[in-house]
């Protein structure tokens, strides 16, 4: 069941290359802007509950500011150092509002990173 709610105004959303924290209906959200595209993850890092929205972007991933675990913004999967996952929330812009769907996206099959090993 989709549960779209207003997270913030478009003018409050992070600029390209930036990430921020926001909260709506008691849910902490990490809102990121990669090349003009907004993405939202659960703000709470599964390691020690660090605030992902206070971290920074590396490519299409957000880096936790506390111990640098890195989460892909599309899949929520951690890329380093262990395989963990945070919830991913769909985002859309309507007029001047940024909306998120508080029903997390289902975990999809993720293409494994291209391996260069010749095995």
Residues that bind ligand FES (CB under 6 A): 45, 47-48, 50, 64, 66-67, 69
Q: How far is the CB of 44 from ligand FES (least distance, A)?
A: 9
Q: Which is nearer to ligand FES, 34 or 64 (CB)?
A: 64
What Å distances lie between residue 42 and 33, 51, 72, 94, 118, CA to CA?
15, 9, 12, 21, 37
Question: Does residue 94 sit in helix, strand or coil?
Answer: strand
Q: Which is nearer to ligand FES, 8 or 52 (CB)?
A: 52
Q: Which is nearer to ligand FES, 56 or 66 (CB)?
A: 66
The three-state DSSP-derived secondary structure of 9-70 is: EHHHCCCCCCEEEEEECCEEEEEEEECCEEEEEECECCCCCCEHHHCEEECCEEECCCCCCE
Residue 71 burial (C-beta neighbours within 10 Å; 0-12, 13-18, 19+): buried
Q: How far is the CB of 113 from ligand FES (least distance, A)?
A: 20
Q: Which is nearer to ligand FES, 79 or 97 (CB)?
A: 79
Q: How far is the CB of 42 from ligand FES (least distance, A)?
A: 12
Q: How far is the CB of 45 from ligand FES (least distance, A)?
A: 3
């Amino acid at each position: 069941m989709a549960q779209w709610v207003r997270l913030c105004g478009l003018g409050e959303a992070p600029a390209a290359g930036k990430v921020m924290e926001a909260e709506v209906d008691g849910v902490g959200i990490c809102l990121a802007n990669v090349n003009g595209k907004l993405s939202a993850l659960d703000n709470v890092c599964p390691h020690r509950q660090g605030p992902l929205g206070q971290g920074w972007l590396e490519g299409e991933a957000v880096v936790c500011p506390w111990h640098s675990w890195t989460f892909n913004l599309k899949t929520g999967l951690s890329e380093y150092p262990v395989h963990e996952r945070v919830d991913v929330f769909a985002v859309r812009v309507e007029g001047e509002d940024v909306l998120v769907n508080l029903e997390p996206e289902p975990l999809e099959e993720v293409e494994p990173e291209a391996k260069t090993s010749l095995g």
